[in-house]
């Protein structure tokens, strides 16, 4: 479904991604783990077109999207829930969700709204509340809900559990599983919480300073001594 081939991304003169190869098949949950600053968020942002890859190719469902502007990439069926949530704090929950539906099919708003409220009943309760006054967990639910409103076929999640209480983390991961299983949505997730992420994922990749150093099924990576030492046993 998504193929990232030999991608190099720069911030000015600094090379953030150094020849990254990643494949995501339809219907999978794929997770990318790595230490802070490894380039994980940069990869998600490069897939979405900002910044653009300086070398390499990104194809989605057989079409090259490497040089497309972000709004065209979203139109093709990729949505991102960014790191740090980045909701519109002064707008209500409903208005945030409306912003997410701008590129969706005309006439689909009510149906998608119901679907988001089914996944996150708390958002329905808070529909008219200003988003900035909600808890971190509720804001994360809203960020994911807003991404879902565009009816994506590929959902990119950047650190969905960051800064959340363990109980809320469990809830968020449960919803990701449900989105994948019930709605047949493909998910590519960057996550610091390697244990939760690999347990949930069909496959995973490990990134170290802008390079993919390891890949395998979620279970293989969970059992790998190097991964355990670096990311699971009091590591990152």
pLDDT of residue 235: 43
Q: Which residues have CB under 8 Å from 233's CB, separation 6+? A: none
19 touches 7 (CB < 8 A):
yes
Task: Work out the angle at residue 59's Cα, subtended by the Cα atoms of residues 206 and 151, and round it to the nearest 5 degrees.
Answer: 90
Q: What is the pTM of this model?
A: 0.92
Query: pLDDT of 103-121, one tens digit each?
Result: 777 788 899 999 999 999 9
Query: pLDDT of 187-232, one tens digit each?
Result: 999 998 899 999 999 999 999 999 999 999 999 999 999 999 998 8
DSSP helix/strand/coil, 169? helix
210 touches 46 (CB < 8 A):
no
């Amino acid at each position: 479904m998504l193929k990232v081939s030999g991608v190099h991304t720069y911030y000015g003169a600094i090379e953030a991604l150094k020849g990254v190869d990643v494949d995501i098949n339809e219907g999978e949950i794929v997770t990318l783990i790595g230490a802070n600053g490894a380039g994980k968020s940069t990869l998600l942002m490069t897939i979405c077109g900002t910044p653009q890859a300086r070398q390499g190719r990104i194809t989605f469902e057989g079409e090259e999207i490497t040089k497309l502007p972000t709004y065209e990439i979203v139109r093709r069926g990729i949505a991102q829930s960014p790191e740090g949530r980045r909701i519109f704090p002064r707008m209500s929950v409903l208005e945030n969700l409306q912003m997410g539906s701008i590129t969706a099919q005309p006439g689909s708003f009510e149906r998608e709204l119901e679907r988001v409220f089914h996944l996150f009943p708390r958002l329905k309760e808070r529909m008219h509340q200003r988003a900035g006054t909600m808890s971190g967990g509720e804001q994360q639910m809203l960020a994911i809900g807003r991404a879902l409103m565009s009816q994506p076929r590929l959902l990119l999640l950047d650190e969905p559990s960051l800064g959340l209480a363990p109980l809320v983390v469990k809830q968020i991961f449960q919803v990701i599983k449900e989105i994948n299983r019930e709605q047949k949505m493909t998910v590519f997730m960057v996550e610091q919480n390697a244990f939760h992420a690999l347990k949930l994922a069909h496959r995973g990749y490990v990134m170290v300073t802008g390079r993919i150093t390891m890949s395998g099924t979620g279970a293989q990576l969970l059992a790998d001594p190097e991964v355990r030492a670096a990311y699971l046993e009091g590591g990152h």
